[in-house]
Amino acid sequence: MARIGLREVASRAGVSIKTVSNVVNRTGSVTTATRERVEEALAALDYRPNLAARHLRRGSSGLIAVALPELTQPYFAELAAELVRAAKARGRMVLLSQTEGAEEAERTLLEGHDLPILDGLVLSPLALDAPALRERVDRSPLVLLGEHVGDAVFDHVTIDNCAAAADATAHLLGLGRRRVAAIGAQVSGPNETALLRLAGYRDALAAAGVAHDEELVAAVEQFHRPDGAAAMARLLELPEPPDAVFCFNDALALGALRTLAVRGLRVPQDVAVVGVDDIEEATYTTPSLTTIAPDKQALATAAIDLLLREGAAAGLPPQTVTVPHRLAVRETTAGRHPALGAEDIPLSPTAGSRPAPDPEEQP
Amino acid sequence: MARIGLREVASRAGVSIKTVSNVVNRTGSVTTATRERVEEALAALDYRPNLAARHLRRGSSGLIAVALPELTQPYFAELAAELVRAAKARGRMVLLSQTEGAEEAERTLLEGHDLPILDGLVLSPLALDAPALRERVDRSPLVLLGEHVGDAVFDHVTIDNCAAAADATAHLLGLGRRRVAAIGAQVSGPNETALLRLAGYRDALAAAGVAHDEELVAAVEQFHRPDGAAAMARLLELPEPPDAVFCFNDALALGALRTLAVRGLRVPQDVAVVGVDDIEEATYTTPSLTTIAPDKQALATAAIDLLLREGAAAGLPPQTVTVPHRLAVRETTAGRHPALGAEDIPLSPTAGSRPAPDPEEQP
DNA sequence: TTGAAAGCGCTAACAT
DNA sequence: ATGTTAGCGCTTTCAA
């Protein structure tokens, strides 16, 4: 079967190619009569535009690349889900890449080598640092997800990581805990997020007048469960082990919970735990995990919108969008059964504006 | 900055466009001398091909669409990760869609409306049934993921769901359990997978000479945690509650575990649990979940390869690829701590060939 | 309001 | 071994 093109439609409708194009794109003006004839032909022949040709001509593709470290990490999977949704709402499709934390992969994406023409790139950088990013000049629009790298040269969208960490830590302190540990500091890499969360943790301790014990800060290689489990094990070896832990993400927290369970420690009675990300599992693990919940939908929508804004008008000043987060209090700090109702505390930047209610706090 | 095209490169290298094209595509033959000159120009001008133009010309795009119900379900996220990886290995990129179980979304993808030219579509159908799929004629190559719909009109790749269910059930029976329940039967929808898993469950019971109690089969709306939790609760209401449960996927199993934990029942002492999918969480939940582990990597690779095979030669007979699965025995049936070593039992279709070792059975 | 024709950047015949 | 040329299917001046 030969592909149907504008030519075929035009000849069937007895008009010129241009007129068909006008109808398809709602450009120019066409009399209702002609339009109807063309539309009939369009439908009859089941015309569908060749997007490659359109893009070649227009120089844009309707495609947005999203580059995330790994889809197997629930946080990124959930984010990807929102990004795909947000892009679709704007009439764009998402080309998905996994960088797997490889600098090379991130760079290749930035270079745009062997990629179709893109309307933009949403990148969650893990390996690349500011200088590497800055090398990228006059390419398609770029939005960074998560903490920006170095000074604000690029559009980026994030939560207030420092405030979030402080909120989490303050919550633990508010429970009367005084040996509050942190899991997630990073020894290597340009991970600004870890730095900010550490800063927030320290801020909260200072604000509460609690002495800061450097032994309580556990570093990790990656933000994965095994790292959290190992870090927790190390913390428990301390002469004076912690009675609470703030984990820099939920995966670390879940790993820590596993260690606590294996050691027979009660959560939250012996050790209270807070994470960050509010992945779905946080709601369902036993005990369910108290966590900082970023507004993922807002994150995704903001990223896509920034991208398209950039695409529309080049040379705009880089913009930072900070989306709200809230503290979802669950069993690892509340101790009570969520059937009794978990309280969600809406937080900055717009305290009081809770992004979305938790529909299923309890299975 | 003007975009660099073949023309610019050609003029700088003092050769014709065709020669540059030959160098870029490694087609034709070029003397080493000219090649070097061209490559120098390529690098100097930082040439990158306009893929839209290339696709227009070649009629193929290097793009594979992957349509999954939801990325937020870990099983699909993990599958997507493998698909992206497998596609990359074949030099293709993945355009990701979420159908969210909506028939409309699935249909739109099949129609290919407003999509770039695709080298193929990998679809995990949830809503569409055989007739709907059959309507799709002479479009780009299509591979179905999971159970095929109706008769084998399409390429599809799957595990042997019936055997997998039987393996899981037999494992429970082998533990001496006699009240083995099943969670995941579906009352509505064309879900062939659920039917096959139910059949496998019944087969195993019959093979073991255990009477089949219809009360022990719990139906669900969706394969999500809350459904599993609710189904488990119903099963526990029975006058003679089950001492083991085979859940049709891990999400259901995790929901069931949650209910069991809330009720204070011990797993596996009081109730043993098996799932299907081997999502990452199965390894880390407490107790860790025994589950049927499909070889996701094989699933993804087979899907991509089928697609490209179809693309290469049209009109091939539809093919079914069955990839291996194994039973990953963990705490919900073994009871022992995984530190003692969990045994993975490789199963059909190639018993004995374990797809991949579990690197991190223990955090 | 509609038509004719040029050309987006590339690849593939064909010619040299 | 390299150059020339004709489109791929579409959008877009420019003319009618």
**pLDDT (tens digit per residue) in A50-95:** 888 888 888 777 889 999 999 999 999 999 999 999 999 988 889 9
Which of A123, A166, A168 shows the shortest CA–CA distance to A147? A123
Please report how many Cα atoms fall inside a 13 Å half-sphere around the Cα of residue A281, on the Cβ side.
29
Using DSSP's 3-state secondary structure scheme, residue A275 falls into strand
Interface test with A, best of B71, B76, B94 (most A CBs within 10 A): B71
Would the CATH topology of A57-160+297-323 be identical to that of A161-294+326-361?
yes
Closest CB to A363: pick one of B1, B95, B258: B258
Q: Is the CB of B34 under 7 A from strand D?
A: yes
Q: Which of chain B's residues have a Cβ under 8 Å away from the Cβ of A363?
A: 225-226, 228-230, 255, 258-259
Average pLDDT, integer, range B146-153: 71
From residue A29, give the alpha-carbon distance in Å to each of A23, A26, A38, A46: 8, 8, 13, 23
Q: What is the pLDDT of residue A50?
A: 83
Find the residue in B nearest to A47 (Cα): B113
Give the pairing type, strands A325-328 and A344-346: antiparallel
CA-CA-CA-CA torsion for A195, A196, A197, A201, nearest 10 degrees? 100
Which residue, counting CA atoms, is nearest to the C1' of nucleotide C8? A57
Which bases in strand C are touched by protein, i.e. have an atom under 7 Å from a CB?
A: 1-5, 7-13
* Distance (Å, whole) CA B68 – CA A95: 14
Average pLDDT, integer, range B23-49: 85
Find the residue in B nearest to A60 (Cα): B52
Q: What is the pLDDT of residue B350?
A: 36
Q: What is the pLDDT of residue A159?
A: 95
Average pLDDT, integer, range B47-64: 83
Q: What is the pLDDT of residue A296?
A: 97
Task: Render pLDDT for B207-219 as a digit per residue (tens, 0 to 9).
Answer: 999 999 999 999 9
Sign of CA dihedral A226, A229, A234, A237: negative
Of the two residues A39 and B87, the one the predictor is more confident about is B87
b/e string for A262-282 if b means 16 or more Cβ within 10 A? beeeebbeebbbbbbbbbbbb
- Minimal Cα–Cα distance from B93 to chain A, Å? 7
Which of B74, B105, B21, B114 shows the shortest CA–CA distance to B285? B74
Give the pairing type, strands A290-294 and A272-276: parallel
- Minimal Cα–Cα distance from B362 to chain A, Å? 8
* Distance (Å, whole) CA B236 – CA B242: 7
- Minimal Cα–Cα distance from A281 to chain B, Å? 8
Angle between helices B74-89 and A74-89 (to 10 degrees): 80
* Distance (Å, whole) CA B84 – CA A100: 11
pLDDT band with cut points at 50, 70 and 90 for residue B150: low
Which of B303, B300, B356, B304 shows the shortest CA–CA distance to B325? B356
pTM for the model: 0.86
Q: Is the CB of B18 under 7 A from strand D?
A: yes
DSSP class of residue A343 equals P
Q: Where are the domains of chain A?
A: 6-49, 57-160+297-323, 161-294+326-361
DSSP A85-97: HHHHHTT-EEEEE
Sign of CA dihedral A49, A52, A54, A55: positive
CA of A45 to C1' of D16 (A): 29
In degrees and rounded to multiples of 5, residue A221 shows phi and psi of: -80, -55
The strand ranges marked E within B227-276 are 244-247, 272-276
Domain B161-294+326-361 belongs to what architecture? 3-Layer(aba) Sandwich (3.40)
* Ranges in chain A, pLDDT < 70: 1-2, 113-114, 127-139, 148-152, 189-190, 314, 335-363
Beta bridge partners of A273: A245
Q: Spell out the CATH class of B57-160+297-323.
A: alpha beta
Q: What is the pLDDT of residue A110?
A: 77
CA of A57 to C1' of D12 (A): 9
Closest CB to B363: pick one of A115, A225, A286: A225
In degrees and rounded to multiples of 5, residue B62 shows phi and psi of: 75, 10
pLDDT band with cut points at 50, 70 and 90 for residue B352: very low
* Distance (Å, whole) CA B262 – CA A363: 10
Q: What is the pLDDT of residue A148?
A: 67
Closest CB to B117: pick one of A50, A70, A94: A50
Task: Check: CB of residue A203 under 8 Å from CB of residue A197.
Answer: no
Beta bridge partners of A120: A64
Q: Is the pLDDT of residue B157 over 90?
A: yes
Average pLDDT, integer, range B342-362: 39
- Minimal Cα–Cα distance from B228 to chain A, Å? 9
Q: What is the pLDDT of residue A362?
A: 36
Q: Which of chain B's residues have a Cβ under 8 Å away from the Cβ of A96?
A: 80, 84, 94-96
pLDDT band with cut points at 50, 70 and 90 for residue B130: low
From residue B320, give the alpha-carbon distance in Å to each of A54, B156, B172, B294: 36, 5, 29, 16
Q: Do B113 and A48 touch (CB under 8 A)?
A: yes
What is the fold, at CATH topology level, of the domain defined by A6-49? 434 Repressor (Amino-terminal Domain) (1.10.260)
The mean pLDDT of chain B is 85
* Distance (Å, whole) CA B76 – CA B65: 14
Of the two residues B359 and B33, the one the predictor is more confident about is B33
Beta bridge partners of B176: none
Task: Check: CB of residue B290 under 8 Å from CB of residue B328.
Answer: yes
Give the pairing type, strands B325-328 and B344-346: antiparallel
Rg for chain B (alpha carbons), in Å?
A: 25
